[in-house]
Amino acid sequence: MDTPSISVLIPAYNVERHLPECLDSILSQGGRRIEVIVADDGSTDGTGRILAEYARKDARLRFFRLPHAGAYAARNRLLDEAEGKWVYLCDADDKLAPGAFARLLSVAEAEEPDAVFFGAEVMYDSPELEARFPDFKGRYAFSRDFSAPRTGQDFFCDCMDANEWKALVWLVLLRREMPGRTALRFEAGQVHKDDIFVLDAALRARKALRIPDCLYSRRIREDSLMTTRHPVEDFACYVQNALWTVARAGDGTLSGRTRAALGTIADRMFRKAGEAFAETTEAERKRLAAEYPVEDAVARLFSKTRTEEEFRRQKDAVARRNRKIALLEKKIASLHAQLEAQRRENRRIRSSRAFRLGNALLAFPRFLFRRRTKT
């Protein structure tokens, strides 16, 4: 059997309502060989039945069932099962645009990057959701052009500078065999582990780029992680992610620019952890304090990285210094110009007819004066 071009990896948990639309959008991608692997993460609805029906109809799809352990554990198992040159991690309630894989593979084969990022649009399940969550509109579309390949570190830093860094697994096609001593894996946890996985992939990438095309539709629905709050889980995962980022920033092989950008990411994650902690109940806070070293986490974070505010102060200080230097350089240039103008005027005077005549008339009096002073 030929090696698939792309392994499409999908964790599925109680998504019978949206799964057929997702699978249809993937299996209808024409012209390229794909394999679709679905992990049924212990679903209690008709998800397993739907998968069995699709597997009977299309040999490109296979699935297996797992005890419910969450999407990230399921994705790690899916990564172990993948055989394609490229891997794409899709959510079971979303869908791909027609021709998405053909577009991505044409770029991947032409440029040979390790990561191809792209944009997405959102689709709301109801007008009520659209009214409640209007901020999702345009969140996954990008204005800056990063289609020219660059190192993964430079790509990450350029996205950070443009305020367009999105660490989402469904917005990137990845080479399955990424550079690094270990395979890409998701950290243990229930939420927000995309952040670390995608960041790690970008930093490892020898070449990365982002095309402007919106090739994915992200569904906004009730009872999803995007529309519900889980402050206890959010707090734990954000702090864990922040500490991972701080440790990564300590890697001396990374550029100074990359390490500074990682410091900014860590600070943002810790701020989100603080927001989540503020939403917990008194009992939950006591439990978190007992189970997780909150104060130690804060100390470790701020002892190893500088905050955005500190970076901003330093940037402002450098800007003020540069303005002073520019002003001094302007004054020096003005003095040089005045000196050169005076020199030109002196040369003009000395070469004038009146100066030469006056110099000649004074020659004899100067001669008599010098003789008198000698005697």
In a domain, 327, yes or no: no
Q: How far apart are CA 239 and CA 297, in angstroms?
A: 7
Please name the residue that has the structure tokens 């998405």: 100
CB neighbourhood size of 17 (10 A)? 14
Percent of the chain with pLDDT over 70: 85
Q: Which residues pair with 123 in a beta bridge?
A: 219
Q: Which has more pLDDT, 339 or 114?
A: 114
For residue 132, what are its two tokens?
A: 């409640």
In a domain, 328, yes or no: no
Percent of the chain with pLDDT over 90: 50
Give me the number of domains the chain comprises: 1
Report the pLDDT averaged over residues 329-345: 84
- Residue 173 is given by DSSP the state E
| Cα separation values, 268 from 93, 136, 178, 249, 338, Å | 28, 19, 27, 14, 53
Please report the pLDDT score of residue 305 as a whole number.
42
Q: Quick one: which of 232, 233, 261 has its CA closest to 246? A: 261
The length of the chain in residues reads 375
Q: Answer yes or no: is pLDDT of 238 > 80.
A: yes
Share the mean pLDDT of the chain.
86
Q: Which has more pLDDT, 117 or 285?
A: 117
Please report the pLDDT score of residue 272 as a whole number.
87
In a domain, 252, yes or no: no
For residue 365, what are its two tokens?
A: 């009096």
In a domain, 284, yes or no: no
Please report the pLDDT score of residue 31 as a whole number.
53
In a domain, 349, yes or no: no
Q: Which has more pLDDT, 359 or 126?
A: 126
Q: Answer yes or no: is pLDDT of 261 > 90.
A: yes
CA dihedral 211, 104, 74, 130 (to 10 degrees): 50
Report the pLDDT averaged over residues 207-229: 85
For residue 300, what are its two tokens?
A: 């470790």
Q: Which has more pLDDT, 236 or 367?
A: 236
21-25, 356-360, 363-367 — which is least confidently predicted?
Answer: 363-367
Q: Answer yes or no: is pLDDT of 101 > 70.
A: yes
For residue 71, what are its two tokens?
A: 């999407």
- Give pLDDT tens digits for 8-58: 999 999 999 999 999 999 999 975 589 999 999 999 999 999 999 999 999
| Backbone φ/ψ region at 204: left (φ over 0), alpha (ψ -120 to 50), beta | alpha
Residue 155's contacts (CB-CB under 8 Å, 6 or more residues apart) are 115, 117, 146, 202, 205, 208, 209, 210
CATH number of the CATH domain containing 56 = 3.90.550.10
The 3-state secondary structure of 113-146, one letter per residue = CCEEEEEEEEEECCHHHHHHCHHHCCCCCCCCCE
DSSP characters for 220-280? E-TTSTTTS--HHHHHHHHHHHHHHHHHHHT-TTS-HHHHHHHHHHHHHHHHHHHHHHHTS
In a domain, 305, yes or no: no
Return phi, psi of residue 33, to 5°: -80, 125
Please report the pLDDT score of residue 152 as a whole number.
97
Domain range enclosing 34: 6-228
pLDDT band at 304 (very low <50, low <70, confident <90, very high): very low
For residue 345, what are its two tokens?
A: 């005027």
Q: How far apart are CA 285 and CA 330, in angstroms?
A: 59
Q: How far apart are CA 210 and CA 49, in angstroms?
A: 37
Report the pLDDT averaged over residues 341-360: 79
Report the pLDDT averaged over residues 246-268: 91
pLDDT band at 116 (very low <50, low <70, confident <90, very high): very high
Please name the residue that has the structure tokens 């500088």: 306
In a domain, 130, yes or no: yes
For residue 316, what are its two tokens?
A: 């402002």
36-50, 76-90, 352-366 — which is least confidently predicted?
Answer: 352-366
Q: Quick one: which of 178, 183, 185, 111 has its CA closest to 149? A: 111
126-140, 179-193, 238-252 — which is least confidently predicted?
Answer: 179-193
In a domain, 362, yes or no: no
The H or E element spanning position 326 is helix 308-350
